Amino acid sequence: MLAAGLHVGAPQKVSVALGLQRAIKESTPAAQQLVFGLVEPGLGAGRASIGYGSFGDFGAGFTVRGSVLRTFSKPRNVAPNQTFVGLEGAGHFFLFNVRAGAFRRTSTGTGSATLYTIDWGLLF
């Protein structure tokens, strides 16, 4: 099944997530566990993620994911043209979510080798 979302935050500024998800356990039509893969190009950075989610009534739930993040020419709050790998978690309610992550730079570069992210979004 198709997965899509819109996020606003640092360092990507604004991004659109597109990918696939698959239910791995469904106890009711509203309650399910799933796995997903996403690509998320944005204005300041882009990421690719694979993860797991658990959702119940009203879309309330959480996701955890491993991600690779690449900053572009003008990211928010971090130096440009760097690659990071990390873990992210998100809390969801209905169509809304808040996501936070911790990343580590994959090579030498300017600025801190650790990147913390936070953003909010809409899921479709």
pLDDT of residue 82: 94
Looking at the predicted structure, is the pLDDT value of residue 2 above 80? yes
Q: What is the pLDDT of residues 36-69, one digit of tens each?
A: 999 999 999 999 999 999 998 878 999 999 999 9
Output the DSSP codes for the chain.
Answer: -EEEEEEEEETTEEEEEEEEEEEEEESSSS-EEEEEEEEE-BSSEEEEEEEEEEE-GGG-EEEEEEEEEEE-SS-SSS-SS-EEEEEEEEEEETTEEEEEEEEEESS--SS-SEEEEEEEEEE-
pTM here?
Answer: 0.90
